[in-house]
Amino acid sequence: MSLTRPTTPVALVTGGAGGIGSAVCQRLASDGYYVVVGAYTGVEPAEELAATIEKEGGAAEVLQFDVKVPERVTAAFSQVMTRHKRLDAVINNAGTTVPRPLADLDDTLYDRIFDVNVRGALNVLREASRHLADWGRVVNISSTLVRSPIAGSGAYAASKAALELFSTVAAQELGPRGITVNALRVGPTVPGMFSQAPVARQAAMAEASPFKRLGQPQDVADVISFLVSDAGRWITGQVITVDGGTTS
């Protein structure tokens, strides 16, 4: 992989090989970032994404680590800092969900969802707070299910609500360093987690948008591109809905 120049900003994207994550990585690379594609499983797709970015003239590498394990997150951030000497943006995108009625939500499934979406996100946010350069950027990926939950979404929606609260607090704590922290409430997007939804529900959500379509990963990536740019310097502590009007 290409080596970054000292003046090249560095972005770390967790869950970087997923539907939204891959679009974010490609967009940030096109914006001039050296992109660190964070991956736990799906390392092969992450490597393919990094190779595509390089072929298109960008710069990227893959960093495999488990956001659930604090020591591995700490080691991953240390590796980024050792290699690049800087970190300018962190996109907290790794997440998981398994739809399940509350009556059937056992401890194992609860732990699985909260370990990634809450503990994992906090692990990443904590290291970002320690290593981001002044005037850096954090974007946490939440869900419109926080505002408009449906049957079976209780654990997932609650985990994302916690992430939104982390975002608000982190914005206050990191603001004195010029670092912005925002959360995106992402609506139904394909490819992405919503690809698992029944076809009928996908059609209903597309119909609910004034644009009569589902979201695409690029729709989210474009908003992130703005937030991490200098143009987004005065936006922090916000929860921004990115859903094409689906839940308005």
- Residues marked active site are found at 156
Tokens of 193: 């987690």
Tokens of 209: 């948008």
Pairing of the two strands 89-92 and 59-64: unpaired
Distances (CA, A) of 171 to 10, 77, 91, 114, 142: 20, 20, 14, 22, 16
Tokens of 7: 């003046």
What are the φ/ψ torsions at residue 158 (nearest 5 degrees)? -65, -40
Bridge partners of 92, per DSSP, are 140
Q: How many of the other CB atoms lie within 10 Å of CB of 219?
A: 19
Bridge partners of 138, per DSSP, are 90, 181
